[in-house]
Amino acid sequence: MQINPNKDTQLCMSLSGRPGNFGLRFHNHLYEQLGLNFYYKAFSSQDLPGAVGGIRALGIRGCGVSMPFKEACIALVDELDPSAAAIQSINTIVNTNGHLKAYNTDYIAIAQLLQSHAVPKDSTFALRGSGGMAKAVASALRDGGYKNGLIVARNETAGRALAESLGYEWQAELGSRQPQMLINVTPIGMTGGPEADQLAFEPGTIAAAETVFDVVAIPSETPLIVRARSEGKRVITGLEVIAIQALEQFVLYTGVRPNLEQFEKAVAFARSA
């Protein structure tokens, strides 16, 4: 990749507990292809207020926000877009002359994927997780007309609050229930984590499902997705989520919307690392 930064180059970045290369390669590829004077870098931090303060102080144009910072960043920005305010979870910060406005492009991506994969709206579902990304997924499900849902979360306070806010049930464990759609919004199956080789749901539960959706993007083929494919299930992957949400972030940062061919080439390039 040819990078020719100068004093006017606009910096964009990401904050994640476990930084990956997808966003960095996706954004920088599009900057080069579209002739934009931007550069993107991935970071992690143990000092979140300091990191967000640096975005403002250094004039960094945009920041993608990933687990575990999606809720903690809210108090550190100046304004919430309705996409973030409605679910109290952010994944994007845009800096305009020191004013930090936060958005949630995860919600947009999930809504698009449920529609493009033609997941029946009368599907029963179980969503494992209760954090910021779980809020985005559950809200997109509710707004998309999926009414029969269960939030599975060991954190009773967060799990009950999420379920009750959206009109769903809560349980600490799934138990013997066999919903038609399974959704993992936890780090189970994520590369580098303590549960990287584990399934987010029991094999029998996967076998009984029709649709399996894993929000984990690294690796793109998690143990859950591999098992679901082997069972012939409809699958939605975390790679699909991060590709669409990254596209929407790119538009917010630059004001430029790539065409479909440019988008697909950027996704292919980002995956090739």
Written as six digits, the tokens of 241 are: 């989520």
Which pLDDT value is given to residue 132? Answer: 85
Provide the Cα torsion 171, 156, 188, 145; round to 10°: 60
Tokens 């006017």 -> residue = 8
> What is the rounded CA–CA span in Å between residue 93 and residue 14?
9
Which pLDDT value is given to residue 19? Answer: 86
Positions of E strands within the chain = 10-15, 38-43, 62-65, 79-80, 92-96, 99-103, 125-128, 149-152, 169-171, 181-184, 211-214, 234-236
Q: What is the pLDDT of residues 120-176, one digit of tens each?
A: 999 999 999 998 889 999 999 999 999 999 999 999 999 999 999 999 999 999 999
Give every residue of the chain whose pLDDT is below 70, as ranges: 1-3
Q: Quick check: is 41 catalytic?
A: no
Domain with CATH 3.40.50.720 in the chain: 108-236
Which pLDDT value is given to residue 256? Answer: 98
CATH 1.20.120.450 holds for 10-103+240-272: no
Which pLDDT value is given to residue 2? Answer: 63
Domain with CATH 3.40.50.10860 in the chain: 10-103+240-272
Q: In what order do the strands lie in the sheet with 234-236?
A: 169-171, 149-152, 125-128, 181-184, 211-214, 234-236
Assign domain 108-236 to its CATH architecture.
3-Layer(aba) Sandwich (3.40)
> What is the rounded CA–CA span in Å between residue 183 and residue 226?
14
| Cα-based distances in Å from 248 to 199, 253, 254 | 30, 9, 10
Q: Which of 7, 41, 70, 101 is catalytic?
A: 70
> What is the rounded CA–CA span in Å between residue 23 and residue 29?
10
**3-class secondary-structure state, position 214:** strand
Which pLDDT value is given to residue 193? Answer: 87
